């Protein structure tokens, strides 16, 4: 399935459209011929590397080498493990150690890696001959990528995605009716550590279209809006928070070139979409939902411009499961909820992950089997509280646990609290996500202590976590208020946040 | 407003938004040089700058801000 849905279409784009643009990166265009040469040079270098582990580290710079490396690794039957250049080195090394990487591909002029791991510097390679024939006979059960997300025990946790998952996802995606041709120009504004990026590059590359990326160090929402306008982009997926940032400037934005636009990674408010229609006058809008564990997206809802759109508390419905997904709302006993009754959304099908990397405990608690229509299906607990309406459309109500989305990234409050406590010793710490006056999510951290200079603590936390996980508001509370059950009264703590 | 006064006020904004009192502004400084400078903090910083100086940026102006020096120049121009 992976050959048919992923590798063959990419090779077809290379063969049919050598002189068309495959990428626009940092204002420079690269054709499919250039992409193919870049893939070839990485593959030939890979053949000369002595590595045992098919899981290969990939430093995700914003350049052609990085994207070509993904395709080259897949052609070799290998799996990529993204390592973000802006994440603390300690966090990346933890990932290297967890997966026991023995090879890292890095296009950085000065690499942060070396030592025990073999380093392949892809920026120094020269193209010699084509090497585009994928290795045959690689099973769809083999891994395609492992993404590390925030984990509440202080260590990032790896989600293993198989080739089958990616292939099933692409098949599901095209069945939604979104069409892309070689004439399209597509936005790819997600970090490669975040799985919407997989849609971001695969949609254009499998159709011969051009993929426009956002360089690291650029302010994403500003850069993306200028890409849309300057290059007349026709398709893109964005997080609603990007549009929230842009909202004060909507009157200045011309997004009339957009034909279809996906909103994803966060709950999507209807009023924001209605305003977005005014800039993107020709657009079809879609709300796509999905945890990393179910490969990018697993449900979607197509909005009707100027018509009725289903919402719950102003949040647009996440719609129906994609073609290769089964989505059920289950109660605490694992029985399906009645129409309108809230329960946990659980997902089964070919897009569901093999599981978490070396984490038996989490695997045992996150997945379960349930018989549906005579078939025993393996389900994933999404942790999202939802209900289905009479048409089968799923309405999103919130999280069951202590997780928040910050700029689209999944963040466990527990992981931030863990690191803060590591620094502070016995101090009680509570982290909370809240919406500021611009409806953007920030993290507030409450510490049960007298006020102190937080510089050292913040510096410590920055060595442990990506910047989006660092709290933007700090509160020193000598004694935490308690509620009637003698638990920390989070409602009272939350009330201290000035919006 | 003198350029030095702008820089002084802007430094205070940076210290507050990026939670780091050691930041020393320079014309060549970019988002890459400040640990916590991402979309969210950028938005918070821009809002704070607008409040502090009583100005309003256009998206086109924000688009052209590549370095802190550009920001200082833009503030200076808008205050005139």
- Give the pair of three-digit tokens for residue A106: 């890095």
Number of domains in chain A: 2
Is the pLDDT confidence value at A480 over 70? Answer: yes
B21 touches chain A (CB under 8 A): yes
Give the gap in angstroms from C-alpha B33 to the nearest C-alpha of chain A: 9
Collect all residues of chain A within an 8 Å Cβ-Cβ radius of residue B23.
none
- Pure H helices in A135-195: 163-174
* B20 and A CB contact within 8 Å: yes
pLDDT at A252 > cutoff 70:
yes
- Same domain as A414, residue A300: no
Q: Say if residue A153's pLDDT is above 80.
A: no
CATH code where residue A55 lies: 3.40.50.12780
Per-residue model confidence as pLDDT tens digits over A177-196: 999 999 999 999 999 999 99
Considering only alpha carbons, which residue of chain B is nearest residue A251?
B59
Is residue A354 in some structural domain? no
pLDDT value for A401: 79
Distance CA A199, CA A58 (A): 18
Whether residue A426 has pLDDT greater than 80: no
Q: What is the CATH number of the domain that holds A442?
A: 3.30.300.30
> Which residues on A lie below 8 Å from B47 (Cβ)?
438
The backbone torsions φ and ψ at residue A308, rounded to the nearest 5 degrees and listed phi first, read: -80, 130
pLDDT digit string, tens, across residues A89-111:
999 999 999 999 999 999 999 99
Pairing of strands A409-412, A403-406: antiparallel
- Residue A56 placed within a domain: yes
pLDDT at A55: 97
pLDDT of A300 > 70? The answer is yes
pLDDT digits (tens, 9 = 90+) for A36-47: 999 999 999 999
- Distance to chain B for A10, nearest Cα, Å: 32
Q: Is A225 on the interface with B (CB under 8 A)?
A: yes
**CB nearest B43 (choices: A245, A406, A470):** A245
Tell how strand A315-316 and strand A311-312 pair up: antiparallel
Interface contact B67, partner A, CB < 8 A: no
pLDDT, residue A313, reads 83
Distance CA B17, CA A459 (A): 15
DSSP letter at A282 equals: T
Averaged over successive runs of 10 residues, the pLDDT of chain B (80 residues) comes to 93 91 93 84 91 94 91 94
Q: What is the pLDDT of residue A488?
A: 81
Give A404's pLDDT tier (boundaries 50, 70, 90).
confident
pLDDT at residue B69, rounded to an integer = 95
Predicted pLDDT at A115: 67
Confirm whether A461 is domain-assigned. yes
Nearest to A327 by CA among A266, A386, A374, A260: A386
Residue A154 confidence class, pLDDT cut points 50, 70, 90: confident
pLDDT band for A427, please (50, 70, 90 cuts).
confident
Last residue of a domain, one of A278, A296, A316: A316
Q: Which residue has the higher pLDDT, A499 or A201?
A: A201
H or E stretch at B7: helix B3-17
Q: CB-based contact (8 Å) between A438 and chain B?
A: yes
Q: Which domain holds residue A462?
A: 403-495
H/E element, A289: strand A284-289
Distance (Å, rounded) from C-alpha A432 to C-alpha A415?
A: 12
- The answer to the question of residue A425 being in a domain is yes
| Segment (H or E) for A39 | helix A32-48
Q: What is the mean pLDDT of chain A?
A: 93
pLDDT score for A485: 66
For domain B3-79, the CATH architecture is Orthogonal Bundle (1.10)
Is residue A263's pLDDT more than 70? yes
Name the domain boundary from A316, A345, A376: A316
Best B40, B47, B55, B63 residue to mutate vs chain A (most A CBs within 10 Å): B40
Complex confidence, ipTM: 0.86
- Provide the 3-class DSSP secondary structure of residue A191: coil
Query: For chain A, first and last CA: distance in Å?
Result: 50
Lowest pLDDT segment from A123-132, A151-160, A305-314, A345-354: A151-160
A to B CB pairs, distance under 8 Å: 64
Instruction: Give the sheet arrangement for strand A210-213, strand by strand.
Output: A28-31, A21-25, A210-213, A185-188, A235-238, A260-263, A284-289, A299-302, A320-321
Q: Is B59 on the interface with A (CB under 8 A)?
A: yes
- On whether any CB of chain B is under 8 Å from the CB of A249, the answer is yes
């Amino acid at each position: 399935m992976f050959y048919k849905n992923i590798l063959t279409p990419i090779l077809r784009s290379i063969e049919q459209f050598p002189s068309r643009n495959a990428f626009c990166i940092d204002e420079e265009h690269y054709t499919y011929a250039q992409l193919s040469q870049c893939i070839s040079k990485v593959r030939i270098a890979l053949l000369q590397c002595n590595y045992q582990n098919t899981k290969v580290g990939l430093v995700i710079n914003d350049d052609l080498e990085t994207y070509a490396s993904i395709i080259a690794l897949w052609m070799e039957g290998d799996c990529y493990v993204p390592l973000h250049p802006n994440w603390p080195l300690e966090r990346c090394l933890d990932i290297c150690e967890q997966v026991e990487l023995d090879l890292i591909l890095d296009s950085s002029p000065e690499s942060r890696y070396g030592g025990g791991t073999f380093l392949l510097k892809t920026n120094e390679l020269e193209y010699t001959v084509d090497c585009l024939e994928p290795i045959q006979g690689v099973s769809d059960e083999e891994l395609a990528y492992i993404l590390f997300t925030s984990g509440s025990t202080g260590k990032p946790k790896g989600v293993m995605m198989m080739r089958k998952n990616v292939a099933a996802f692409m098949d599901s995606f095209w069945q939604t009716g979104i069409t892309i041709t070689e004439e399209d120009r597509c936005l790819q504004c997600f970090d490669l550590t975040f799985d919407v990026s997989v849609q971001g590059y695969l949609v254009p590359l499998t159709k011969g279209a051009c993929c426009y990326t956002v360089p690291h160090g650029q302010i994403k929402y500003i850069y993306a809006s200028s890409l849309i306008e300057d290059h007349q982009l026709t398709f893109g997926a964005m997080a609603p928070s990007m549009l929230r940032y842009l909202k004060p400037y909507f009157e200045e934005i011309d997004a009339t070139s957009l034909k279809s636009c996906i909103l994803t990674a966060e709950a999507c408010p209807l009023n924001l979409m209605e305003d977005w229609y005014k800039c993107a006058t020709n657009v079809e809008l879609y709300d796509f939902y999905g945890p990393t564990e179910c490969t990018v997206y697993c449900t979607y809802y197509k909005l009707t411009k100027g018509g009725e759109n289903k919402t719950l508390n102003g949040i647009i419905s996440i719609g129906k499961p994609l073609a290769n997904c089964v989505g059920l709302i289950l109660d605490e006993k694992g029985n399906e909820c009645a129409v309108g009754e809230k329960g946990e959304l659980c997902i089964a099908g070919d897009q569901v992950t093999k599981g978490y990397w070396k984490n038996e405990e989490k695997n045992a608690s996150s997945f379960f089997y349930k018989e549906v229509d005579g078939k025993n299906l393996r389900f994933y607990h999404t942790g999202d509280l939802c209900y289905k309406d009479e048409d089968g459309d799923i309405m999103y109500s919130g999280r069951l646990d202590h997780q928040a989305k910050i700029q689209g990234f999944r963040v466990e409050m527990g992981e931030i609290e863990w690191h803060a406590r590591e620094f502070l010793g016995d101090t009680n710490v509570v982290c909370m996500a809240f919406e500021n006056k611009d409806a953007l999510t920030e993290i507030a951290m409450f510490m049960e202590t007298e006020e102190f200079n937080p510089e050292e603590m913040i510096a410590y936390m920055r060595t442990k976590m990506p910047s989006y996980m660092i709290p933007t508001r700090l509160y020193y509370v000598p004694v935490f208020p308690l509620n009637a059950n003698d638990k920390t009264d989070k409602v009272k703590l939350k009330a201290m946040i000035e919006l | 407003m003198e350029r030095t006064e702008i820089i002084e006020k802007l430094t205070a904004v940076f210290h507050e938004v990026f939670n780091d009192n050691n930041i020393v502004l320079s014309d060549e400084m970019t988002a890459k040089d400040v640990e916590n400078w991402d979309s969210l903090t950028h938005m918070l910083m821009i809002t704070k700058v607008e409040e502090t100086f009583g100005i309003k940026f256009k998206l086109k102006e924000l688009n052209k801000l590549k370095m802190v020096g550009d920001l200082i120049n833009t503030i200076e121009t808008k205050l005139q």
